[in-house]
Amino acid sequence: MNVTSSSTFGFPSLEEGWSPQGLMSVYSVPYLIGIVLVMSTTYVWSTSNASLKKLPHVNPPDFFSNTKARLQYRNSANTLLQKARKQYPNQPYRMTTDYGEVVMVQSEWFEEIRNSQHLSFLGTVPQERICEIPGFEPLAALGEDGALVQIIARKQLTKMLNQVTAPLSQETAFAASINLGESGEWRELVIMPALRDITARMSSRVFVGEELTRNDEWLSILKNYTVDAFNALNSLAKCPVYIRPYIYWLFPECNRVRNYYGRAKEVLDPIMKKRDDMKRAALEAGQPVPVFNDALEWIVQESKEHSCGYDTATFQLIISVVALNTTTDLLQTVLIDLIQHPEAMQAIRDEIVEVLKVDGWKKSALYNMKLLDSALKESQRLCPVFSAMRRAVEADTVLPDGTRVKKGSRIHIDTHRMVDPEVYRNPEEWQCDRFSEMRSQPGKEHLGQLVTTSVDHFGFGHGSHACPGRFFAANELKIALCHLLMKYDWELAPGTPLDIFRFGFTQRANTATKVRCRRRESVELDIDAI
């Protein structure tokens, strides 16, 4: 056999003799395949935590590859969760995921570890290695210790709630009008882009101030960055963790993300410079220094207070990534649930009228919309962002049963109590007043509120990393729904898809859902005149 001309992919037979050089030059393809197989097996083996070997495994990898197990996770994570709940009811177990082997824990145990200093939500971001890709710097900043976004969401954003109800309502009126129109004729539309534009405009009013909120280029960057970043995360999730930083350029959405990131800097830099110039000029003239109350300014203040650096564009895109998709999603989910329950929609309209007539656009009005609050919490219960919460283990941690989980591993917490018949009656049924009813029961007034987290409702997570933006998000959602429900009639478009989009533990509303809407002829209350 003339080895130099061989094109077969077989290994050389013993009769043909053997030399390493020959193998490299001629049989390089099978040789390389062999290396890759050995490396990936070593990788699978090395990434599995030796101390956890005694835990059962719900979808163990094959001897040579974890591809099948990862596919199972990606396409049917919820089925795996259900199976494991039956098989391993009161013990931790292992699951193969797109980010390696993780330790799964049942909801009940989370109460005991929820405030552990060694478990981090944002620490899971660097584990996925996406943040090493150009354009994903905002995700990298999310994973850094003491990220300013947490501080700002907890402190400044929540403090601001008293002042922003009326401005947010004005912005929603504008956004609803341009996205849904003023016509009394029915029109059909894919609802998610319209809702994303509404939430982008609302949050921009608070994050970047009035001037940029009406800047179309800024809004386009914001919306596209979050959509493409999410799509890129899903595409890259299919590749092994360790090769992600090297093959990102194969995915067009990654290149777009980098492009939007660059454009965000170009839009924001002149605004920041203009503000600096105004402040300097005022100081030099002995005039009061202008005060801006938005996240562009909060980041300057907080970075000084915490003696750390910051980048305006990075920070703004971080806030958008954590805020925009999640808020838009819940807005769509509850709107679709209400369209399917017209009597609940009318009851909420009645509540809005009753409350706004008394309170006007004050923060207290939003607190008093208890049925609306309940509808949001109920929709979130049935379609939370994550079907299993995530925590990066930043120092060795002992689980309630004594299992030691090593630093660098990852824990996921099954959120099944949100649909457990022992916790909720008819858990699969959407019941608008489920949580307003709960609020009327002594001792449960607090538990039934949208912003309250517990092991029975992980919609905003739970414990020391529970979503710090939830108070703002709750207000934003209620204001948006006041406008959508009071001003428009709604129907589902015939035959429209409604099924939830699931990818591993991530869940999202359907991006293709179509609705029909028209401006209502007679309204109980003109909410723009309040």
Detail the residues annotated as belonging to a binding site.
467
Interface positions with ligand HEM (CB under 6 A): 121-122, 149-150, 153, 157, 319, 322-323, 326-327, 330, 385-386, 389, 459-463, 465-470, 472-473
CB of 467 to ligand HEM, least distance (A): 3
Specify binding-site residues for heme.
467
CB of 314 to ligand HEM, least distance (A): 14
- Look up residue 155 and give its two tokens: 């402190």
CB of 492 to ligand HEM, least distance (A): 22
Q: How crowded is the C-beta side of 4, counted as CA atoms within 13 Å?
A: 0
Burial degree of 196 (CB within 10 A; 0-12, 13-18, 19+): buried
Within 8 A by CB and 6+ apart from 329, the residues are 383, 385, 508, 509
Which helix (DSSP H) or strand (DSSP E) does residue 410 occupy?
strand 410-414
Selection from 110, 365, 319 nearest residue 226 by Cα = 319
Instruction: For ligand HEM, give the closer residue by CB, 121 or 230.
Output: 121
* Residue 515 β-bridge partners: 189, 492
Give the residue carrying structure tokens 């620490």.
Answer: 123
Give counts: helices (H), strands (E), the chain.
21, 12
CB of 375 to ligand HEM, least distance (A): 13
CA dist 334 and 477 (Å) reads 10
CA dist 476 and 294 (Å) reads 16
- Look up residue 104 and give its two tokens: 């799964």
Instruction: For ligand HEM, give the closer residue by CB, 44 or 142.
Output: 142
Instruction: For ligand HEM, give the closer residue by CB, 69 or 191.
Output: 191
Instruction: For ligand HEM, give the closer residue by CB, 323 or 372.
Output: 323
CB of 405 to ligand HEM, least distance (A): 17
Burial degree of 432 (CB within 10 A; 0-12, 13-18, 19+): buried
- Look up residue 511 and give its two tokens: 């991006």
CB of 325 to ligand HEM, least distance (A): 9
The count of residues in the chain is 530
CB of 474 to ligand HEM, least distance (A): 8
Instruction: For ligand HEM, give the closer residue by CB, 69 or 168.
Output: 168
Which helix (DSSP H) or strand (DSSP E) does residue 366 occupy?
helix 363-368
The 10 Å CB-count burial string (b at 16+, else e) for 218-239 is bbebbbbbbbbbbbbbbbbbeb
Using N-to-C axis directions, what is the helix angle for 295-305 and 191-207, rounded to 10°?
50
Instruction: For ligand HEM, give the closer residue by CB, 356 or 418.
Output: 418
CB of 38 to ligand HEM, least distance (A): 37
Instruction: For ligand HEM, give the closer residue by CB, 48 or 507.
Output: 507
CA dist 423 and 527 (Å) reads 38
Collapsing DSSP to helix, strand or coil, 340 comes out as: coil
Instruction: For ligand HEM, give the closer residue by CB, 73 or 505.
Output: 505
